[in-house]
Chains A and B, each alone.
Chain A
Amino acid sequence: MSVADHIPRLADRAEQRMWFERIPTRWWVVGLILLFLPVVANNFWLFQVMGWTFILGMIGLSLMFLAGYGGMVSLLQMSIAGMAGYMVAILGPSGVLNVSLGLSWWIVLPAAFLIAALFATIAGALAVRTEGIYTIMITLAIAAAFFYFTRQNYSVFNGYSGFNLVLPPQLFGVNWRDPVAFYYLTLASATLCYFAVVYIERSPFGLALQGVRDNPRRMAALGFHVTAHRVAAYALASIFASAGGILLVWQNAQIAPGTIGISSAIDILVVAVVGGMRRPLGPFIGAFIYVLLQVFSADILGFFGFSVDRFKLIIGIGFLAIVLFSPDGVLGLWDRWRAQLAARNAATTGDGA
């Protein structure tokens, strides 16, 4: 068997086929449903349910990138998203006229991404020298510090009340907070982030990050500067979190310390774990489940006579069940179910061997 018999897996394996022929049918179905959802779905579904799902999914995606590929569980991603969101409110126009600078969007957006990336890089540089539980603790500490800082600082972060009337720019004459427009805006952003992560997974940097996850010591013995790779991963992941954070501010039209509190930071972890941390799709699945529970559990709980506040209880029980029965999340359940199905099919048709 010669080397030439194999087309390298590192590059596109199936160049003979057209690129769209390689996409499985179920992806086409999902894509078409998402694309034409506004035809059937009402504004509440588009804006609240799907918009929020995509936003949480993007912030969860940044955690999945760090944890799934880099082995670094960070509780910082909501803070990074919040930093980007705050920058949009502080640098751009908002209802708090004495703080917000009211700069134009083409300065505000790049600056928000850059400042959030800087924040992520510095925090990452602190966090990457630790492993496992200590990474979680140090990122939690930074998240908590940032939360209390925004609550107490009035000159820049406007303290407890935060910023209201933070609206997206009327680009191309579109009101981007209109439910249909906002749905497509979040869908496009989420799709872009998703495919960026899928692409990067097989790039030299993505592979090296997975190498660092599996065996950092060996990576150093192959010529890699492990710490630099980890910090760079934080910087890169901040892009996805920032995109989510900016859209979140536009969706709510406001940002306050409550947005980036400890419970929000943990929600991102829940979203990523419930969906599955091994693949970029996981956080979006997790976010969809989380949002559905958040939005509809009130009705169900009310029906059984429980307080609406018990919604976190349902999330918590669901989280516990997932962690106990499927450490790789809902996607892991799906994979195992498909593998079982395939095994059963192979057994019945008799070509299992």
Chain B
Amino acid sequence: MNAPVAPSRMNLPGSSHAASGNALELRGISKTFGALAAISDVTLSVKPGERRAVLGSNGAGKTTLFNCITGDFLPTAGLIRFFGEDVTVFPPYERIRRGLRRTYQISSLFSGLSVLDNVYLACRGVSRNRFSLIRPRADDALVNAAEMLVEAVHLTGEKDRLVGELAYGQQRQLEIALALSGAPRFVLFDEPAAGLSPTERRDLIHILTSLPSHIGYIIIEHDMDVALRVVESVTMMHNGRIFKEGRPEEIEDDPEVQELYLGGGHG
């Protein structure tokens, strides 16, 4: 069944219903690169605390969708609301300061800094005194917050190492720590399990399922075993459009989806 995501007021473009009650609301988002339409008319809403997977083959537009939500790209058309606020043209840092977080498909870290410094920067980015010239003390609240995040992703033993020297799986774990800094309200996970070992995947599932319940997220993931275990709803994308939405078990059993995606020979 195609679960209708559109609330009733969806049909009133330009209406000023700021408090829509959704954590994230996309209306008619399109992004074209020259003649190529990466995503077309994507309309999607996610409630606070909801966990959703976005599935689709390569080139379906999943990462482009993330880049539009975070503001890395401005959408060609459409509207983005984050907790009721129109953030469509906000620069990325303004969205992040409002509680949006993301991880990157390809690890995107600060290779010349230590593990702890990476997480500390993530904590500092969403707090005050970003321009402070005063060194933090040992009992600084943000340093402690960073230490706890490092602990949460099992990297305490590596916290003083340069990130460039970390193993791949550890870098992926650090990605997640950066995305959970401060007070996240909504997180976008871009293929967090890619390249992880089975053990690391179990750790990942544990981290995702044990997030506080008020933190919602969207996860892009090719590994269905991971994706369908950590979400309560699924959006299928195909050729830049939303193709189907539903609960994980509905999607898994859907013959069309199996035809298009699961049977599509993903390794």
Contact = CB atoms under 8 A, between A and B. Distances in A.
Interface stretch (B48-56, B135-143, B226-234): B135-143
A207 B126 contact: no
A104 interface: no
Interface stretch (A20-28, A124-132, A143-151, A211-219): A211-219
A11 B138 contact: yes
Given A6-B147, A8-B147, A222 B181 contact: yes
Given A1-B156, A215-B108, A215-B109, A11 B137 contact: yes
A207 B91 contact: no
B154 to A, nearest CB: 10
A236 B121 CA distance: 20
Contacts of A223: 93, 96-97, 125-126, 130, 182
B114 A9 contact: yes
Interface string B208-225: 000000000000000000
By secondary structure, the B interface counts as loop
A231 B217 CA distance: 34
B148 interface: yes
B147 A207 contact: no
A12 B121 contact: no
Interface in A15-36: 15
B93 A211 contact: no
Contact of B113 (A205, A214, A217, A236): A214
B116 A8 contact: yes
Contact of B135 (A7, A203, A236): A203
B92 A211 contact: no
A11 B139 CA distance: 8
A10 B140 contact: yes
A10 B148 contact: no
A202 B116 CA distance: 12
| Contact-residue bracket for chain A | 35 or more
B86 interface: no
A133 interface: no
B119 to A, nearest CB: 10
Interface string B63-102: 0000000101000000000000000000111001100001
Given A3-B147, A214-B113, A225 B93 contact: yes
B245 interface: no
Interface in A210-238: 210-211, 213-215, 217-226, 229, 232, 236
Contacts of A210: 110, 112-113
Interface string B164-202: 000000000000001001100000000000000000000
A167 to B, nearest CB: 33
B36 interface: no
A270 B164 CA distance: 28
B16 interface: no
Contacts of B135: 10-11, 199, 202-203
A3 B113 contact: no
Given A11-B140, A220-B93, A208 B121 contact: yes
Contacts of B130: 204-205, 208, 223-225, 229
Contacts of B7: none
B134 interface: yes
A200 interface: yes
Contacts of B47: none
A203 B114 CA distance: 14
Given A3-B156, A200-B133, A220 B110 contact: no
Given A1-B156, A12-B138, A220 B92 contact: yes
Contacts of A12: 138
A224 B125 contact: yes
B206 to A, nearest CB: 19
B136 A221 contact: no
Nearest to A196: B133
A203 to B, nearest CB: 5
Contact of B112 (A213, A217, A232): A213
B124 interface: yes
Contacts of A11: 135-140, 143
B124 A208 contact: yes
A12 B125 CA distance: 22
A232 B132 CA distance: 11
6 contacts: A11-B135, A200-B133, A203-B132, A203-B136, A208-B131, A225-B130
Given A11-B136, A215-B109, A219-B125, 13 more contacts: A3-B147, A8-B138, A10-B120, A10-B136, A205-B132, A208-B130, A214-B110, A215-B111, A221-B96, A222-B96, A222-B126, A223-B125, A223-B130
Nearest 5 A/B pairs, CB to CB: A223-B125, A222-B125, A11-B138, A214-B110, A223-B96
